[in-house]
């Protein structure tokens, strides 16, 4: 099968905001306890942070981590998780029917972000609480001292403010499952007042308003329009969430889900710009796709878990090779919208629908770890408009090209990086692209991840069953790139000057 890419160095989409490669830690399952935090374990440091998990996180170079939820945040009292641990209460956690010990809280998370070389994206509770609580939390985090909550932080041993710049105004408030679920009008008004109050305290923070929980919500479109009608002037980003699965074992349709993600993003951009035009505003709202991933493997087993216990093993999807292919295409989709998608969070980071898994004796990388790592570490720069000429196949989302690809130029490092997925399950793709505008470049690497078994997984006993290798076949002659993309494969082709 033959396919080609058409690019021009002068036709760009936009610069990649590194926060597009963010992730997410929620007080859910073993994400925190037994995941990033495991005191007493020989693999943990003196603060209880898992050192083996740090090693894997640093390989991904995660720029931002959303916390503490997720559904969890909608009934969370942040005060429960600060101060002496001996005084912190245990509480029922209704979102995930567990018990929260509050042993790990805000200050521990901030210590963890520094150790992990990342930055926080903090969410406030707009489910069971509201604007006043959000203001108090911001004061605790960002004011130097001399006030009630900033001095409370200092009494807890943190003399310097945390200086958190990015804040989520609640989580999935359109969802009937959400504690404190609201109508679009109710939430839009609350987000506007909360945002206004928070920016009175710290005018330099950035705020993310809740968009629809997914594109299939009955209120999708109406929700975005009405929320932004209320809070357009107070917020900087609108969120999107989506998860995909393959319970019917239809791999072609599953791999086509990135087309649905692309349409979701385009629709929300149109709504944002419609509200902008209606308001005659000069301000542009960008997008925060702060929950996305594959999620379906664990749903049946989670129904059997006991209620009201601490950190049960919830949402522990074991990812296979085809999941990694879709995650690669979803990363390509985010990059193709780099002009408007400025923040994105793979949900989540450790154990809970995550690229990293742990047990008490070690940590290992799941299949989806590798496209995420490649995109984060090699996908910084300017996204070029990448026109794909490829045969297509029919799917529930319409005709979808077998080839999914995007090209990023990094002028500082003088590299061009192509991320490509061959979605054809039986045929290789012979890819060509004209790079004659880039004189003096050569093929530096061609990384390939492929496997004969779409259901192959990585385990602790066999963590290298599905891994990438520098075995790709690519050449650049007289400015024309020729690459061989194996059937069902993730590819990273790097050209260097």
- Sequential DSSP letters for 368-414: THHHHHHHHHH--SEEEP-EEE--EEEETTEEEESEEEEEEEETTTT
Can you give the pTM of this predicted structure? 0.97
Residue 324 CA to residue 450 CA, distance in Å, equals 10
Please tell me the CATH superfamily of domain 17-378, with its number: Glycosidases (3.20.20.80)
Q: Helix, strand or coil for residue 189? A: helix
How many Cβ atoms from other residues are within 10 Å of residue 47's Cβ? 11
Q: Is 385 exposed, middle or buried (0-12, 13-18, 19+ CB in 10 A)?
A: middle
Are the C-beta atoms of 262 and 270 separated by less than 8 Å? no
* Annotated catalytic residue, options 139, 224, 291, 409: 291
Are the C-beta atoms of 38 and 48 separated by less than 8 Å? yes
Q: Is residue 55 among the annotated active site residues?
A: no
CA-to-CA separations, 286 to 208, 211, 266, in angstroms, rounded? 9, 12, 12
How many Cβ atoms from other residues are within 10 Å of residue 171's Cβ? 32
Residue 176 CA to residue 182 CA, distance in Å, equals 8
pLDDT along the chain (497 residues), means of 10: 96 98 98 98 98 98 98 98 98 97 98 98 98 98 98 98 98 97 98 98 98 98 98 98 98 98 98 98 98 96 93 97 98 98 98 98 98 98 97 97 98 97 98 97 98 98 98 97 98 98
Residue 405 is given by DSSP the state: E
Listed residue (433, 463, 478, 452) closest to 7, CA to CA? 433
Are the C-beta atoms of 13 and 269 separated by less than 8 Å? no
Every domain range in the chain assigned CATH 3.20.20.80: 17-378
Torsions phi, psi of 35, nearest 5? -105, -85
Residue 331 CA to residue 375 CA, distance in Å, equals 7
Q: Which residue has the tokens 């069971």?
A: 128
Are the C-beta atoms of 156 and 82 separated by less than 8 Å? yes
Residue 377 CB partners (closer than 8 Å, separation 6+): 59, 60, 61
Every domain range in the chain assigned CATH 2.60.40.1180: 387-496
C-alpha 14, offset from chain centre: 19
User: What pLDDT does 167 receive?
Assistant: 98
Residue 56 CA to residue 51 CA, distance in Å, equals 9
237-244 and 206-209 beta bridge pairing = parallel
Torsions phi, psi of 230, nearest 5? -85, -40
Q: Which residue has the tokens 């493997």?
A: 297
Residue 95 CA to residue 109 CA, distance in Å, equals 20
Q: Is residue 172 among the annotated active site residues?
A: yes
* Annotated catalytic residue, options 172, 224, 316, 322: 172
Angle at 381 between CA 378 and CA 382, to 5 degrees: 130
Element (DSSP H or E) covering residue 141: helix 131-142
Residue 430 CA to residue 419 CA, distance in Å, equals 15
Residue 86 CB partners (closer than 8 Å, separation 6+): none
User: What pLDDT does 410 receive?
Assistant: 97
Angle at 250 between CA 244 and CA 255, to 5 degrees: 50
The alpha-carbon radius of gyration of the chain (Å, integer) is 23
Are the C-beta atoms of 497 and 441 separated by less than 8 Å? yes
Q: Helix, strand or coil for residue 294? A: strand
Q: Is the domain defined by 387-496 classed in CATH 2.60.40.1180?
A: yes
Residue 484 CA to residue 482 CA, distance in Å, equals 7
How many Cβ atoms from other residues are within 10 Å of residue 151's Cβ? 15
Diameter of the chain measured on Cα atoms:
70
Listed residue (69, 76, 67) closest to 118, CA to CA? 67
């Amino acid at each position: 099968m033959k396919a080609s890419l058409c690019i021009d160095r002068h036709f760009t989409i936009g610069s990649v905001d590194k926060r597009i490669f963010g992730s997410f830690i929620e007080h859910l399952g073993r994400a925190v306890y037994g995941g990033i935090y495991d005191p007493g374990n020989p693999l943990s440091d003196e603060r209880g942070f898992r050192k083996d998990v740090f090693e894997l996180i640093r390989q991904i170079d995660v720029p931002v981590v959303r916390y503490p939820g997720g559904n969890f945040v909608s009934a969370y009292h942040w005060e429960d998780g600060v101060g002496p641990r001996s005084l912190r209460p245990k509480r029922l956690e209704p979102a995930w029917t567990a018990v929260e010990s509050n042993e790990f809280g805000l200050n521990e998370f901030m210590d963890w972000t520094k150790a992990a070389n990342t930055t926080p994206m903090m969410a406030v509770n707009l489910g069971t609480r509201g604007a006043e609580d959000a203001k108090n939390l911001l004061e605790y985090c960002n004011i130097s001292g001399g006030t009630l909550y900033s001095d409370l932080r200092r009494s807890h041993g943190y003399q310097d403010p945390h200086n958190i710049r990015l804040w989520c105004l609640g989580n999935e408030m359109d969802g009937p499952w959400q504690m404190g679920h609201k109508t679009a009008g109710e939430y839009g008004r609350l987000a506007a007042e909360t945002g206004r109050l928070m920016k009175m305290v710290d005018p330099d923070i950035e705020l993310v308003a809740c968009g629809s929980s997914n594109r299939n919500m009955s209120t999708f479109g109406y929700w975005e329009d009405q929320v932004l009608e209320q809070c357009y002037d107070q917020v900087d980003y609108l969120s999107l969430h989506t998860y995909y699965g393959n319970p019917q074992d239809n791999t072609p349709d599953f791999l086509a889900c990135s087309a649905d993600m692309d349409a979701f993003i385009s629709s929300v951009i149109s709504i944002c710009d419609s509200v902008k035009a209606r308001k005659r505003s000069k301000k542009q709202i960008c997008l925060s796709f702060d929950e996305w991933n594959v999620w379906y493997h664990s749903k049946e087993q989670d129904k059997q878990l006991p209620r009201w216990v601490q950190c049960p093993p919830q949402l522990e999807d074991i990812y296979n090779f085809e999941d990694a292919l879709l995650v690669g295409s979803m990363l390509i989709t985010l990059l193709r919208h780099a002009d408007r998608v400025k923040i994105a969070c793979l949900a989540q980071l450790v154990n809970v629908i995550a690229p990293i898994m742990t047990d008490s004796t070690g940590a290992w990388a799941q299949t989806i770890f590798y496209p995420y790592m490649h995109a984060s570490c090699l996908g910084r720069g300017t996204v070029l408009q990448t026109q794909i000429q490829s045969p297509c196949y029919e799917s529930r989302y319409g005709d979808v090209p077998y080839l999914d690809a995007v090209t990023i130029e990094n002028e500082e490092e003088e590299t061009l990086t192509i991320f490509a997925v061959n979605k054809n399950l039986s045929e290789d793709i012979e890819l060509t692209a004209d790079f004659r505008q880039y004189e003096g470049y050569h093929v530096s690497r061609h990384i390939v991840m492929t496997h004969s078994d779409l259901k192959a997984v990585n385990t602790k006993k066999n963590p290298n069953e599905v891994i990438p290798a520098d075995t790709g076949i690519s050449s650049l002659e007289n400015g024309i790139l020729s690459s061989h993309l194996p059937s069902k494969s993730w590819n990273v082709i790097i050209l260097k000057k």
